[in-house]
Amino acid sequence: MPLDAIKIKNLCFSYPGISQTFWLEIPEWRIAQGERIFLKGASGSGKSTLLNLLSGILVATHGTIEILGQDLCVLSARQRDRFRAAHIGIVFQQFNLVPYLSVYDNIRLAAYFGRKKQDDLDITIKQLFTVLNLDDALIMRKAGNLSVGQQQRVAIARALVNRPEILVVDEPTSALDNDLRDAFMDMLLEICRVHASTLIFVSHDATLTRFFDTIVNMSDINQAGAKTNVF
C-alpha cells in the first residue's frame, strides 16, 4: 500500500492574536505519493497558510499534519526547518533565488540546509540543468542577472537538488508569457515523473488545469469559510 505523502486530520489553524475564528479548518485531506495535484483557490482562501503549514513554518493549532509519515507537530522548530530542507522543495511565483549569490551558491545553500553531501552535488546539478534545458555557463552567473524564465527553472533545480519527495509550487508561471509557460509546465511535469515526486501545484489560473489529473478546490477542503457563511 503506497504511503501517503500528505495526511491531514482535523486540522485547525488561527493566527495567534489576530482572530478568534479559525483561518483554516481541514477535517481530512490526503495526497498519495507520486500524485500531481492542482490546488485551485482565490486569494484569501487560505492557500498560503496551507503551504506554510505543510512546510512546517506555521504550526497547527489543533490536529495533525503528517508528511511522509512524520507528524510535523511533534517536531521542534529546528527539526521542522531541517525536515523542510530535506523533503520539501518549494518554488514561488517569483523571487525564488537570493539575487546576489551565484546560481551555484543558491543551489549549494539549499544543499547545505538539506545536509546533502558535496561530492555528488555537482553531478546532480548537471543532471538537473540538462533536464531543465539550462546552459551550464549560467552556473557562475549572479542569480539576479538571469531572466525570469531562467530564474524559475533554476528555482526548480534548486528545489529538487535534495531529491525531495514533495514539490510545492506556488503560481510559478504567472511571471512567464504563454509560450514559456507551456514549456515550463511540460518540463515541470516531466521532471516530477522522472523523480517520482509528489507535486502540489497552486494556482488560480484555470487554463493550467489541463496539465493535471487531480484538481482540488481550496474551498472544498477548507471548512473555515463555510462555517463563517453560516453566521
Partner 1 sequence: MFFNVAWHSLLNRKYAVLLALISVTISIYALLGVEHVRHEAKASFSKTISGVDLIVGARTGQLNLLLYSVFHMGSATNNIAWESFLELENEPNVAWVIPISLGDSHRGYRVTGTTQDYFKHFRFGQGTTLQFKEGRPFEQLFDVVIGAAVAEKLGYRLYDEIILAHGLGQTSFSLHDDYSFRVVGILQPTGTPVDQALYISLQGMEAIHLNWKDGVKLPGRSVTAQTLDKLDLTPKSITALMIGLKSKVTIFTVQRQINNYSKEPLTAILPGIALAELWQMMGVMENTLRLISALVLFSSLLGLSTMLLSSLRERRQEIAVMRAIGASPLFVFLVIQTETLLITATGMIAAVAALTVSILSAQKYLLENYGVFIDSFILSSEMIIVLGSVLAGALMLGLIPSLSAYRMSLHHGLAAKA
- Binding residues for partner 1, per CB under 8 A? 48, 51-52, 55, 57-58, 77-78, 81-82, 84-86, 90, 92-101, 105, 109-110, 112-114, 158-159, 170
- Write down the least CB distance from residue 88 to partner 1, Å: 9
Q: Decide whether 20 or 118 has the Cβ nearer to partner 1.
A: 118
CA atoms of 193 and 86, how far apart (whole Å):
19
Provide DSSP, 117-149.
-STTHHHHHHHHHHHTT--GGGGGSBGGGS-HH
- Write down the least CB distance from residue 170 to partner 1, Å: 8
- Write down the least CB distance from residue 162 to partner 1, Å: 9
Show the cell assigned to 22: 479559525
Q: Decide whether 138 or 183 has the Cβ nearer to partner 1.
A: 138
* Three-class SS state of 191: helix
Q: Decide whether 53 or 192 has the Cβ nearer to partner 1.
A: 53
Q: Decide whether 32 or 149 has the Cβ nearer to partner 1.
A: 149
Q: Decide whether 112 or 211 has the Cβ nearer to partner 1.
A: 112
Q: Decide whether 2 or 16 has the Cβ nearer to partner 1.
A: 16
Q: Give me the residue label for grid cell 551550464.
A: 136
* Three-class SS state of 41: coil
- Write down the least CB distance from residue 12 to partner 1, Å: 18
- Write down the least CB distance from residue 206 to partner 1, Å: 20
- Write down the least CB distance from residue 2 to partner 1, Å: 26
Contacts 24+ apart (CB under 8 A), 158-161: 158/89, 158/96, 158/97, 158/106, 158/107, 158/110, 159/89, 159/90, 159/91, 159/110, 160/89, 160/128, 160/191, 160/195, 160/197, 161/107, 161/110, 161/111, 161/114, 161/116, 161/121, 161/124, 161/125, 161/128
Q: Give me the residue label for grid cell 535534495.
A: 162
